[in-house]
Structure 1
Amino acid sequence: MKFNKQIIFSLLFLVTVMFGGFLSNPYSTQAEASLNLNAESAILVDFETGKILYAKNPDATIPPASMTKMMTEYIVLEKINNGELSWDTTTQISDYAYSISANEAFSGVGLKQDQDYTVKELYEAMAINSDNATTVALAELIAGSEGEFVKLMNEKAEEMGLTEYKFVNSTGLDNADLDGNHPEGTEADDLNLLSARSTALLAYHLVHDFPEVLETSSIPEMTFAGQTIRNWNWMLPHDATFLEQFYYEGIDGLKTGYTESGGNSFTGTAIRNGNRLISVVMRTDSKEERFEETAKLLDYGFNNFQNEELFPSGYQLEDQTSLPVTKGKEDSVNISLGESITIPIKTDEADLYTVKYHFDKEKLNEDGELTAPIGKGEVVGKAELIYNGDNDYGFITDNNKGTVPIVTDAAVEKSNWFMLMLGAIGDFFANIFTAAVDWIAGLFS
């Protein structure tokens, strides 16, 4: 009988623990589990902080198709911002770009040769209609050839800190589809490759460095060379009735993609109540599904996370409020967070976050002391945000991993030479006394 009671007690205890776990944050936990995204790879990022809110196979490399054009857009906007290019600069269409435009298998706006097109016209056709020929024309204008432009793309990817990438052309088409016209320096069977993480980081840099990109990416349709061109982003407010089901409030970008090798993909961004999210879904089963899965991701982010100041500026760890000081008029100095830590978190999860100090070893001597003089607000290390719950996806950028500086709260002047000398003499005799005591103790041990 005693054995049965123990079994019953253990089962009740187990059920209680499990039930309590579900109660800790049932909505957000169930919401994440119920996403069940039908995409091979996906990621969701808070734009303001770079915090990754959700990820599914984020480092798998997949052909990004026309999402490749985000890198072309970035380089165009950078050249314009640097004064190396103007929106009014004109160019004509090369034989290669014309052959791309004339190919009905590719997105095309029907470019003509022996006609001047402005950079603005070409850019809008690329960003809105995902036109391939205008993309090639821009690449050739900027770098002289698409092959040289591809070099710029890969150099910029490395500079941005993309971790999984390979750019082999400016458009996102498979090189195998270019009938031997693949860019110099690439192979005929090469593919552009990106992971969801790298795609989101590219989108992050694009929107962060050139927010004007959204002015173009949010245009549902416009006129180009006397014809109407339409945005492939069905989540924008299109007039077509069959597209109404895909409309998403707050969406204003960013880039669709499709190739047979890469499937259907979409990098989206939306803003609600001042909060912007960036989403990426890669290799969904259909054009429709890439928008449906994006809506799931964005809903999850907007419905389950809110920005909260977890640790204010001036916050001090209870067991580490100060650091010892040597050669100063004070023996110690108070330290605290130099900046607040504010990130999007799930409801009722604030208690799952702590901070951990990492002191700058170059600022401390071998005894762990700061050496005077010390200025007020001097950075002595970094405080790292620690999440003690499940599924911590980290941050999209290397320069923001939930760390803020640890600073001194006051200045400490260097002690004068006389006091330093007295201290040195005191230390000298103290060491002699300690050594003598140890010697005498050793005689009787």
Structure 2
Amino acid sequence: MKFSNKLSRFAAVSLALILGLTLAFQIPFASKAEAASDPLGVKAKSAILVDFNSGQILYEKDADHVYPPASMTKMMTEYLVMQALHSKKLTWDTPVSISDYTYKISQNRAFSNVPLKKDHQYTVRELYEAMAIYSANGATIALAEKVGGTEKHFVDLMNKTAKKFGMQSAEYINSSGLENVDLGSDAPYGGKDASNQLSAKDLAKLAYHIIKDYPDALEISKIPLKQFTAGVDSPIQMVNWNYMLPGFGANMAKFTYAGVDGLKTGHTDLAGYCFTGTVNRNGHRLISVVMGTPSDPQRFEQTRALFDYGYNQFTEKTLAKKNQRIKGAQKSVAVHDGKQDRAPLAFGKTYKAAVLNGDSSAVTYKVVLDRSKLNKDGNLEAPVKKGETVGYAEVTPKSGSHYGYIYQSNNKVPVIAAEQIERNNWFVRMIKGIGAFFASIFSWIAGLF
């Protein structure tokens, strides 16, 4: 019995020693693996970097995890106001009245705000600039009420638009990004401690749509300083919270990044310091999102690291040119009753992608024909017009895109007929029809034997 107890103690000590040695060896290897999976070591809860022209995701860190976005919420408000402007439901000069709720929020200078008056009507432009430049919460709610009738109805529109954009994790409960504890009984949705919830990938998709659909929004988001003069006794200097913008002068030089023209910062105690940025250099635009960085400077320093990575490690290359003929096995498609048996195919637009430096710029093309354009035998019916879209091609660098694309359709390029294919005249069609008839008869007879 005593021998058995000693043996048991020896076994326990041995097991503990083995486990300790195992952990000691595992920890360094785990750290190396973690470093390999995150080449930048971005100091943020989540992050993403997107090449705007191609839609490629160049880098991501926990980009699908949901966090409070703080004032980056306002990006959706900006999008929907721009949508109302472009659809002529509003103009920049449309007057906007101030509700009791908006007035109350706007007077709280602990938030980012310009104080609004109930007896003064503001223009959409005045409120939009206060929102986009200064992140003014009262101005944001006033615009939401103008577009939606009530902020609650506007939030419904925000969530509907998020679903349309494929922002799978997005849940909006207000238009400003303030937490419900700050809005109190005026909060349109959610409990006392609730806040908006979005992922970095959701925000990248929203930024992509703002830039793609309403690039004029960048003309306002890039303004570093502007005075707010509407309804105030003395002008209020609105300082853009995006310190990476050129134009701030020597005091902010350490943050400035050439080409930055947007898009939106955000900060609350719950969300930390966040930033959705975009930069354009010689037509090569990047979009970045960092969420939950530990300080104001860090959100810009981490964004700088992302931008440097995008520009220093990747080169934008043209993978397909408009009207360039497609080569290889999928270079043409059969045509029924055409003066030519096959129609050569070409790309319908130019497609550029970010290729990792040192990787081959060779590409793969996967052509997918539009079934609605084909007959039951999988052929085009003559006549075929030159330039007619007949499908699309998935254009991908052979080295691939490690993180994929912001949308699956990003690398789909229209495929067109490269030549005009006229239809055969009735006589030729008749002769071919007779030949096909006898060919089928002979085939049937041969099958009998």
TM-score (norm 2): 0.82
Residue equivalent to 1:329: 339
Q: Does 1:156 align with 2:167?
A: no
Q: Does 1:407 align with 2:416?
A: yes
Task: Tell me how far apart the structure 1 counterparts of residues 88 and 348 of structure 2 sit (CA, whole Å).
Answer: 37
Aligned positions of 1:36-435 closer than 5 A: 36-183=41-188, 185-224=189-228, 225=232, 226-237=235-246, 243-312=252-321, 313-389=323-399, 391-397=401-407, 400-435=409-444
CA distances 1:69-127 after superposition (whole Å, capped 9, x unpaired): 11112222332333333333444433222322333542233334434433333222222
Residue equivalent to 1:19: none
Confirm or deny: 8 A CA contact 1:384 1:402 kept in the other structure. yes
Aligned-partner SS, 1:165 = coil
1:31 offset after TM fit, Å? 11
1:354 offset after TM fit, Å? 0.8
Task: Tell me how far apart the structure 2 counterparts of residues 162 and 280 of structure 1 sit (CA, whole Å).
Answer: 14
Cα distance change on mapping 1:116 and 1:161 into 2, 3 Å:
same
1:38 offset after TM fit, Å? 1.2
1:205 offset after TM fit, Å? 1.9
Task: Tell me how far apart the structure 2 counterparts of residues 294 and 132 of structure 1 sit (CA, whole Å).
Answer: 24
1:266 offset after TM fit, Å? 0.1
Task: Tell me how far apart the structure 2 counterparts of residues 268 and 338 of structure 1 sit (CA, whole Å).
Answer: 31
Cα distance change on mapping 1:418 and 1:140 into 2, 3 Å:
closer
Aligned-partner SS, 1:43 = strand
RMSD: 2.7
Confirm or deny: 8 A CA contact 1:267 1:280 kept in the other structure. yes
Task: Tell me how far apart the structure 2 counterparts of residues 339 and 110 of structure 1 sit (CA, whole Å).
Answer: 49
Aligned-partner SS, 1:179 = helix
Which is further off, 273-282 or 208-217? Answer: 208-217
Which letter maps to 1:75? L
Aligned-partner SS, 1:173 = coil
Task: Tell me how far apart the structure 2 counterparts of residues 133 and 413 of structure 1 sit (CA, whole Å).
Answer: 63
CA distances 1:239-282 after superposition (whole Å, capped 9, x unpaired): 57663322222222111111222221101112222322221111
Aligned-partner SS, 1:357 = strand
Task: Tell me how far apart the structure 1 counterparts of residues 212 and 436 of structure 2 sit (CA, whole Å).
Answer: 56
Task: Tell me how far apart the structure 1 counterparts of residues 250 and 352 of structure 2 sit (CA, whole Å).
Answer: 41
1:426 offset after TM fit, Å? 2.5
Task: Tell me how far apart the structure 2 counterparts of residues 202 and 109 of structure 1 sit (CA, whole Å).
Answer: 26
Cα distance change on mapping 1:237 and 1:335 into 2, 3 Å:
closer
Task: Tell me how far apart the structure 1 counterparts of residues 107 and 331 of structure 2 sit (CA, whole Å).
Answer: 70
Cα distance change on mapping 1:418 and 1:154 into 2, 3 Å:
same
Confirm or deny: 8 A CA contact 2:54 2:410 kept in the other structure. no
Task: Tell me how far apart the structure 1 counterparts of residues 260 and 167 of structure 2 sit (CA, whole Å).
Answer: 25
Which letter maps to 2:227? T
Aligned-partner SS, 1:45 = strand
Confirm or deny: 8 A CA contact 1:139 1:149 kept in the other structure. yes
Confirm or deny: 8 A CA contact 2:325 2:344 kept in the other structure. no
Task: Tell me how far apart the structure 2 counterparts of residues 419 and 294 of structure 1 sit (CA, whole Å).
Answer: 66
Aligned-partner SS, 2:274 = strand
Which is further off, 257-266 or 374-383? Answer: 374-383
Task: Tell me how far apart the structure 1 counterparts of residues 117 and 383 of structure 2 sit (CA, whole Å).
Answer: 71
Which letter maps to 1:346? L
CA distances 1:148-199 after superposition (whole Å, capped 9, x unpaired): 221222233234443331111110011233222211x544443212221221
Instruction: Tell me how many residue pairs correspond in the alignment.
Output: 409
Percent identity, aligned pairs only, is 46
Cα distance change on mapping 1:241 and 1:333 into 2, 3 Å:
closer
Task: Tell me how far apart the structure 2 counterparts of residues 239 and 364 of structure 1 sit (CA, whole Å).
Answer: 58
Confirm or deny: 8 A CA contact 1:238 1:244 kept in the other structure. no
1:366 offset after TM fit, Å? 4.4
Can you give the 5+ residue segments of structure 2 that lack an aligned partner in the other structure?
1-34
Confirm or deny: 8 A CA contact 2:44 2:290 kept in the other structure. yes
Cα distance change on mapping 1:428 and 1:393 into 2, 3 Å:
same
Which letter maps to 1:73? E
Task: Tell me how far apart the structure 2 counterparts of residues 284 and 305 of structure 1 sit (CA, whole Å).
Answer: 25
Task: Tell me how far apart the structure 1 counterparts of residues 284 and 113 of structure 2 sit (CA, whole Å).
Answer: 35
Confirm or deny: 8 A CA contact 2:346 2:416 kept in the other structure. yes
Which letter maps to 2:267? Y
Task: Tell me how far apart the structure 1 counterparts of residues 300 and 422 of structure 2 sit (CA, whole Å).
Answer: 61
Confirm or deny: 8 A CA contact 2:361 2:397 kept in the other structure. no
